[in-house]
Amino acid sequence: MMAAMQEPNVPGDRYRTGISPPAPAEALAQAPQPVPAVAHGARPLSCWLVDGLRANGFALPRHGAATPTPWQLIVLVGLAEAVVLGLARLQVSGPAEFSLRSALAQQWPAALVLWFAWWAMAPARQRQGGVDAAGNGGLAAWFVLFSWAALVPLMLAELLLASDARWPALWQGGVRDLAFGGALAALLAWALAALVVVSRRFIGSAWRTGVFSTAMVATMGFASWQFPEPPWMPVEQAPADSPQLVLSQSLFEAQQALWQRQVQALAGPRSDRVEVYGLVFAPYASENVFRRESTMVRELLEQRFDARGRVVHLLNHAETAATHVWATPQNLQRAVAALGARMDRERDVLVVYMTSHGGQNHQLAASHWPLDVPPVGPEMLRQALDEAGIRNRVIAVSACYSGGWVEPLAGDDTLVMTAADATHTSYGCGSRSELTFFGRAVFDEQLRTTWSFADAFARAVPVIAEREVAAGKEDGFSNPQIRVGSRIAPVLEALALRLSRQDAVASANP
């Protein structure tokens, strides 16, 4: 009976209640549907390009939930870097060579910034079982957009620097420098702001974004300070009819014999007075100006400072291979050691004069093709002088950015002077120059009227400034530097007094 009282579970009964059974198609539509895989999947290359360019205008990425494929990551990051490197080439007018070492040295901050980003995104990865509530695509998506987010302001900054390097400025002075510096600072601020905005999208947390941004700026600033050398360096072309060095076994043997003869010919010290010894170093063979200037300095030391027979002249030039020992780092060290062994290391004075092109990394350029000659830095020279035990040192460096040599070489027993400060170029090292502005003013002019290196430098600085203005130097005053140690000053004063008296006697008794 109970069974008879139950309503039968048949379609007709449901129809009587007014509820119709769903049709097969309707039932399928009501069933839960899976989220399309494309929501967190890959996107075409063009989507990443558009998203990256939009980020330059502080627009949030529309495809940040996607994940780039490995080849997309390589292509997109490599293309952005290639654009920046290509525009950096415009900063060098004329022939230039690409320095892979400098380019790679500027890339290590990217690895550190990647680590900072990985740390900053850690909480976002842990939400909802490893998926960010915002649906971020992860570190790879961030890195692709990060590489493109600041590309526009960086391109404009490179073009600004290129225009300053290639074409004469419309006006000179402080107003021009202020306008140029302000424009460059604004572009860099734009780039940093775009990077922060796109990173905020992936990090989520405001304080973690702040920490990441601070670490990013500090890393990039430190890299620019420690690795300022640009990826493109100018290459001076020798005239088509200029002589070329021909390497042969006989030439190598002749160089060794020449070195032995010059070392053995060095005059020894005298017990009754302080002697001047000299080391002149000109490692850039492609420019005749360095040959002329180093020869002038050698002759000046021999004639004005009574250093005949006490000067070692190292020179790279195709026409002087039979008369001058090559200016290589190894020969520089050997020459310092040989001079230290012959002179009175505690009393005599060694004058070192170095002339060449200089880089922003404070390395002295060297070339003597086809001979491979590495550049020379101040630390190498300082180590050689210390190991030789030479106490009294006068060091002059005629090169761009040579102010970076002052701190490594300075000391109580050292006078060091440079043709420029650490951030400016010097002038007069072109193929048409007779002498550099520094070498001409300090050594060829002022030191012919005085025996005081400090006085000659002081008199030469305003002369150099006037000549740079007249020549239209565009990147500011070279700002030559000098540092005189407390113990070397009285030694040089006594030397100047003795040489002036000796010259007076010679003039009175021709």
pLDDT at 18: 46
Q: How many CB atoms lie within 10 A of CB 386?
A: 11
Q: Where are the beta strands (DSSP E) in 383-457?
A: 392-398, 414-418
pLDDT at 367: 85
Give the burial string for 161-174 (b: 16+ CB within 10 Å, else e).
Answer: bbebeeeeeeeeee
pLDDT at 165: 55
Indicate the SS3 state at residue 277: strand
Domain limits, CATH 3.40.50.1460, in the chain: 249-508
CA-to-CA distance for 325 and 106, rounded, in angstroms? 36
Cis geometry, peptide bond prior to residue 370 (ω within 30 degrees of 0)? yes
For every residue of 73-109, which 3-state class applies, written as one string? Answer: HHHHHHHHHHHHHHHHHHHCCCCEEECHHHHHHCCHH
CA-to-CA distance for 38 and 379, rounded, in angstroms? 57
Integer CA distances (angstroms), 9 to 17, 18, 159, 333, in order? 12, 14, 82, 105
Indicate the SS3 state at residue 120: helix
CA dihedral 449, 451, 457, 458 (to 10 degrees): -80
DSSP 161-230: HHHHHHS--SS-SHHHHHHHHHHHHHHHHHHHHHHHHHHHHHH--HHHHHHHHHHHHHHHHHHHHH----
Contact (CB, 8 A) for 486 and 447: no
Fold of 249-508: Rossmann fold (3.40.50)
CA-to-CA distance for 270 and 398, rounded, in angstroms? 31
Q: Which residues of the chain have pLDDT under 50?
A: 1-20, 23, 25-40, 128-135, 167-174, 238-241
CA dihedral 495, 501, 503, 506 (to 10 degrees): -140
Return the biggest CA–CA distance within the chain: 154
Q: How many CB atoms lie within 10 A of CB 50?
A: 16
pLDDT at 13: 44
Contact (CB, 8 A) for 484 and 454: yes
Contact (CB, 8 A) for 388 and 339: yes
Read off the DSSP letter of residue 403. G
pLDDT at 157: 83
Indicate the SS3 state at residue 291: helix
Distance spanning both ends of the chain, measured CA to CA: 153
